[in-house]
Structure 1
C-alpha cells in the first residue's frame, strides 16, 4: 500500500508514465487496486476497535465486581445480560447511522461525527463522578458513535472499489478485518493491566486516549484521501444517496433523541432490568432488520437485479446473526468463565482475566493471511459467501463442546490450553464469517441504499449480541448441570442453524442465478 493510481476509468486506460503535472509520492499513493481510502479507513476503524475492545474487555468485571473492588456490584447474570444489551445497542445504532448517512450527511461526515461521539462517550465513562449515570450516558454515546462510524466506514470501503473488482474488494475487507484484529489484541492487554494494577477507570481513560489518537490520525489524511478519489466516488461517499428535507430530518432526529433518552434513563434508574433490556433490543433489532429489508425490496429505486441480490443475501443474514451470537459470548459468559473457572497462573503470574479476550484476535491474525492466500489460489473456484459463512457457524459451534468436560469443576481448574483451544476453533469460524460477511454485504447492496444495507451486516451483530445477552441468564457457573446444559444447547443449536443456512443458500443461488 505505497502507490496510488486512479481507479475505474483511469485504471482501464493504457498506462502512461507520470508527468510533472501528475506527481506521485508515498503520501498520496497506494496500489492501483487499493486506494488511499482503504488505508485511512483501516486506520480509523482499527483505532475505534482498539478503544472499543479495550473498554469492553473490562466492562463485565466492572459491572459485577463489588464496590470495594472498584466495581458496581451487580449480579453476574445481570452483568452478562447488560453486556449483551450494550453490544446490541452498538450495532442497532448502525441502522440509525446508515439512515443519517443516506438521508442527511453522507457516509464520510457521518463517520467523523461518530468518531467525535465516541471520544465524548469514553471520556464520560472514565471521568463521570457518579458511576451509574456515567455508565449509562457513556455507553450510550459510545454505542451511537461506534454504530455511526462502523456503518459509514464499511460503506465507504465498499464504494471505493469498482463494481467488477470482487477479489480486490474482498482483499480490502480482509485488510480492514486484519487491522481490527491487531488492535483487538492490544486493547484488552492495556486496559486489563491498568484495571488490575490501578482501577477500572484508568482502563476506561486509556480507551478514550486511544480513540482520540485514531481521530487525529484519520483527519490528518482525510483531505488527501478524498482528493485522490474519482469524482463520482467522491460524491458517493460525501453526499447522501437519498436526501430528505430539513424539516423531516429535524422531526425524526427529535423523536429518536426522546426515545433514546428515555431508554437511557430507565437503564440508569433500574426501571428496566438488563435481561429485559437485552430481550427488548433483540425484538427491536429483528423488527428493524425486517422493516429495512421490506423497504429495500419494495422500493422502486431497487432494480430487479438488485432485488434478486437482496433476496440472495437472506441466508448470509441468518448465518451471520447466529455466528455473532456465538462470538459475543466472549464478553459475557466466557468473561465470567475465565474469571471463575479458568486456571490463569503462568510461571507464578496470574494472567488478568481480561487478557483472555486477546486470544481470539491473536488466532485470527495468525491464520488470516493463510486463509487469504487460500482464497486467492482458488480464484474462480472460491466457495460462495453463503457456503463460507455457514461452514464458519458450524465450526464455531464446536467450541462450546470443548467446555463440557470441564463444566461444573472447581474454581480456577480448567487448563488454560483447553480454553485457548476452544477460542481457536471459534477464531477459525470467524475468519469464514467476519470479513466475508462484510464484503458480501457491500456486494449485495442496492445503489440507492448502500449505507443502510451495510447496516444490515451490523444488525446481524446486534441480533447476535442481544441474543447472547438474553440467553446468558441461563448460564449458572454455580450449577454443574446448568453449565453443561448451557454449552450443549448452544453448540447443537448453532450447528443446526449453520446446516440450514448452507442448504437454503445453495437453493437460492441455483434459483436466482
Structure 2
C-alpha cells in the first residue's frame, strides 16, 4: 500500500514538474535575449536603447520578478489558493511571451515583461506549495521526496537548454523567432499541465484538494478589489512613464532599490520591536544581518550574468570556433551547466561531518569566490577580444560561490527566523535577490565595453568591494565562533 501511495504521489508530481521546467525553459530562453533585444540597433531587430539603459532595465526586471513572489504568496493565501495561483501564473507567463513575440516594440516589451514577471512570481511561489502538499497529513519528510530532486533538476535543465535554443534562433533568424520559441515551449508546458491537472487533483486527499483550490485565509472582497486596482493603476502609470520616457531606467532602478531596501529593513525591525519575540530570537535576528548583506552582495554579482556579462559576451569575447560563431546568448547557459556539474561534488564535500564549515563561514567564502569571478576578467582589459575561455572561467567562479550561498542562505533564514515571524522572515531571502538585482541594475550604467579605463574600473571596484564584504563577514563569523 505504501508503494502504491508513493507511485500515486510521484505520478501527481509530473504535472507540477513539467509546468515548472517549461516555465524555466521559456523564461531563461527569453532572458538570454533580453539585453541584446534592448540595445541592438533597430536595423538589427532590437529596440536601439542605450547599452547602459538596457542593462539597467534587466536589473529592474529581475528585481520586480522577485518582488512578485511576495504578491504570489499573498494571492495564494488570501485570494485564489495555491493551485489556481499556479495555473494563473502559467497563463500570465504564456501571454507575456506571446506579447514579446507577436506585438513587439516598446509596448509589447512592457506588457510582455510585466506578464512574465507576475506569472513567474506566482509560479515560483505556488509550485513548491502544491508539490509539498502531495504528502497531506501523512508522515514523511517532503525534502526527502524524490519529486523535489526532479523538480530542482527540471529548473536547471530548463535554464540550461532555454538559452541554447533561443540564442541560436535569434542569431540565425530574428529576436521574434527566439521569443516565439519561448512562447511555443510555454504553451506546450501549459497544455501538458492542463491535461494532467484533473488526475493530479484527484490524487490528492480530499482535505488537501480543498486547501489547494481555495484561499486559506481569505481576504475581504473590498481588500482584494483595492489591491488589484492599486496594482493595475501602478502598472499603468509606470508603463506610461516609461513609454513617454518621462522616467529613465536609471531612475526606476534607483526607486526600486530604495523600495526593496525599505521592505527589508521593515521585516528586520518588526520582530526586534515585537513583544512576543524573545530576547534570544532578537539576538538571532541581529546575527542574521551579516548573512543578509552577504547574500545580497552575491546576487548583485550573479545578476551580472544577465546584464553586463551578457554585453561582455557580445562585445568583448572572441566567439569564433573555426567558421562557427558561438551565439553570445549561449553564455546564459554557463551558470546552470556549472550548477548541475558541481552540485554533487559540493554536496558530498558538505557531508564530511565535523570538517564541514559553518553556514556563516561557507556563505562568506562563497561571496569571496564570486567576487573573484569579476577580477579574473581584469588581465584581458585592453585586448581587442578576450579568449573564449575567459567568460566561462568567470561564470564558473560565480556559480561555485552560488553553491556555497544559495542553500546556506535559505537554511540560515529559516534558522534565524522568530517563531511568530517564520513565513514573513523567509521573505527576506527573496528580498536579497530583489535588492541584488536592483544593485546590479544601478551599477551597470558605469560599465562601458568600448572604454578600457571604464571597464577596468568597473570590474576592479565591483569585484574588490564584494570580496571585502566577504572577508569582513568571515572575520565576524570566526570571531563569533
Q: Distance in 2 between matches of 1:403 and 1:366?
A: 23
In structure 2, the residue matched to 1:497 is 469
The aligned runs of 1:417-428 (5 Å cut-off) are: 417-428=389-400
From 470, 473, 480, give the equivalent of 2:445. Answer: 473
The aligned runs of 1:62-73 (5 Å cut-off) are: 62-73=37-48
List alignment gaps of at least 5 residues for structure 1: 1-17
From 254, 258, 263, give the equivalent of 1:288. Answer: 263
In structure 1, the residue matched to 2:4 is 24
My pick for the range that moved more, 322-331 or 171-180, is 171-180
Given that 1:181 and 1:365 are in contact with CA atoms closer than 8 Å, whether structure 2 keeps it comes out as yes
Higher helix fraction (1 or 2): 2
In structure 1, the residue matched to 2:221 is 246
Given that 1:360 and 1:424 are in contact with CA atoms closer than 8 Å, whether structure 2 keeps it comes out as yes
Shift in Å at residue 395 of structure 1? 0.9
My pick for the range that moved more, 83-92 or 431-440, is 431-440
In structure 2, the residue matched to 1:146 is 120
In structure 1, the residue matched to 2:294 is 319
Shift in Å at residue 71 of structure 1? 0.8
In structure 1, the residue matched to 2:313 is 338
Q: Distance in 1 between matches of 2:248 and 2:117?
A: 19
Change (3 A) 1:446 1:49: farther
Aligned length: 480
My pick for the range that moved more, 281-290 or 434-443, is 434-443
Given that 2:448 and 2:455 are in contact with CA atoms closer than 8 Å, whether structure 1 keeps it comes out as yes
Q: Distance in 1 between matches of 2:425 and 2:333?
A: 30
Given that 1:476 and 1:483 are in contact with CA atoms closer than 8 Å, whether structure 2 keeps it comes out as yes
Q: Distance in 2 between matches of 1:380 and 1:234?
A: 43
The question of 1:100 aligning with 2:79 is answered no
Shift in Å at residue 209 of structure 1? 1.7
The question of 1:214 aligning with 2:186 is answered no
Change (3 A) 1:224 1:433: farther
Given that 2:9 and 2:134 are in contact with CA atoms closer than 8 Å, whether structure 1 keeps it comes out as no
**CA displacement 1:115-146 (0-9 Å, x = unmatched):** 11111111111111x51111111111111111
The question of 1:408 aligning with 2:382 is answered yes
In structure 2, the residue matched to 1:431 is 403
Change (3 A) 1:472 1:179: same
Shift in Å at residue 174 of structure 1? 6.0
**CA displacement 1:428-457 (0-9 Å, x = unmatched):** 111222344345546666777666544432
In structure 1, the residue matched to 2:360 is 386
My pick for the range that moved more, 170-179 or 53-62, is 170-179
Given that 1:28 and 1:36 are in contact with CA atoms closer than 8 Å, whether structure 2 keeps it comes out as yes
Given that 2:413 and 2:426 are in contact with CA atoms closer than 8 Å, whether structure 1 keeps it comes out as yes
The question of 1:255 aligning with 2:230 is answered yes
In structure 1, the residue matched to 2:457 is 485
Shift in Å at residue 424 of structure 1? 1.0
Tell me the TM-score normalized by structure 2: 0.88
Q: Distance in 2 between matches of 1:90 and 1:451?
A: 19
List alignment gaps of at least 5 residues for structure 2: none
Given that 1:297 and 1:310 are in contact with CA atoms closer than 8 Å, whether structure 2 keeps it comes out as yes
My pick for the range that moved more, 177-186 or 235-244, is 235-244
Change (3 A) 1:237 1:324: farther
Q: Distance in 2 between matches of 1:281 and 1:303?
A: 33
